[in-house]
A and B are shown apart, each in its own frame.
Chain A
Amino acid sequence: MHLASLGIVLYAFWLLLSGYFEPFLLAAGAGSALAVVLLSRRMHIVDREGHPIQMIASVLLYWPWLIKEIFKCAWDVSRIILSPSLPISPVLVRFKPTQKSQVGLTTHANSITLTPGTITVEATQDEFLVHGLTRTAGAGVIDSEMDQRVSKVEGYR
Chain B
Amino acid sequence: MSMALDILSWFCMLAGGVFCAIGAFGLVRMPDFYTRMHAASITDTVGAWLLLLGMILQAGLTLIAVKLLMIALLLLFTSPTATHALAKAARARGLQPLLAPGEDPSKP
Say yes or no: B103 contacts A91, CB within 8 Å.
Answer: yes
A-B contact count (CB 8 A): 110
Say yes or no: A94 contacts B108, CB within 8 Å.
Answer: yes
Say yes or no: A81 contacts B84, CB within 8 Å.
Answer: no
Instruction: Take A19-B63, A71-B46 as given contacts and tell me if A119 and B34 are in contact as well, using a CB distance cutoff of 8 Å.
Output: yes
* A68-95 with Cβ < 8 A to chain B: 70-71, 74, 77-78, 81-82, 86, 88-94
Classify chain B's interface size. 35 or more
Say yes or no: B22 contacts A81, CB within 8 Å.
Answer: yes
Kindly supply a per-residue 1/0 record for chain B positions 14-48, scoring 1 wherever the CB is within 8 Å of any chain A CB and 0 otherwise.
00000100110110011110110111011001100
* A104-134 with Cβ < 8 A to chain B: 109-111, 113-123, 129, 131, 133
Name B26's contact: one of A81, A118, A123, A135 (CB within 8 Å): A81
Bound complex: CA of A90 vs CA of B33, how far in Å?
Answer: 11
User: B100 within 8 Å of A by Cβ?
Assistant: yes
Residue on A nearest B50 in the bound complex, by CB: A71
Residue on B nearest A121 in the bound complex, by CB: B87
Name A77's contact: one of B39, B97, B108 (CB within 8 Å): B39
Of A17, A86, A110, A116, the most chain B CB neighbours within 10 A belong to A116
Name A81's contact: one of B34, B37, B39, B98 (CB within 8 Å): B39
Residues from chain B with Cβ under 8 Å of A111 in the complex: 80
User: B99 within 8 Å of A by Cβ?
Assistant: yes
Residues from chain B with Cβ under 8 Å of A119 in the complex: 34, 37-38, 41, 83-84, 87
Say yes or no: A120 contacts B84, CB within 8 Å.
Answer: yes
Say yes or no: A123 contacts B84, CB within 8 Å.
Answer: yes
Main secondary structure of the interface of A (DSSP, over half): mixed
Main secondary structure of the interface of B (DSSP, over half): helix
Say yes or no: B38 contacts A133, CB within 8 Å.
Answer: yes
Least CB distance, B29 to chain A, in whole angstroms: 6
Say yes or no: A74 contacts B19, CB within 8 Å.
Answer: yes
Residues from chain B with Cβ under 8 Å of A90 in the complex: 32, 34-35, 97-100, 103
Say yes or no: A122 contacts B91, CB within 8 Å.
Answer: yes
List 22 contacting pairs A-B, 8 Å CB cutoff, sorted by A: A70-B46, A74-B19, A74-B46, A81-B23, A81-B39, A88-B30, A90-B97, A90-B98, A92-B97, A92-B99, A94-B108, A113-B83, A113-B84, A114-B45, A115-B41, A116-B41, A116-B46, A120-B84, A122-B91, A129-B108, A131-B34, A131-B87
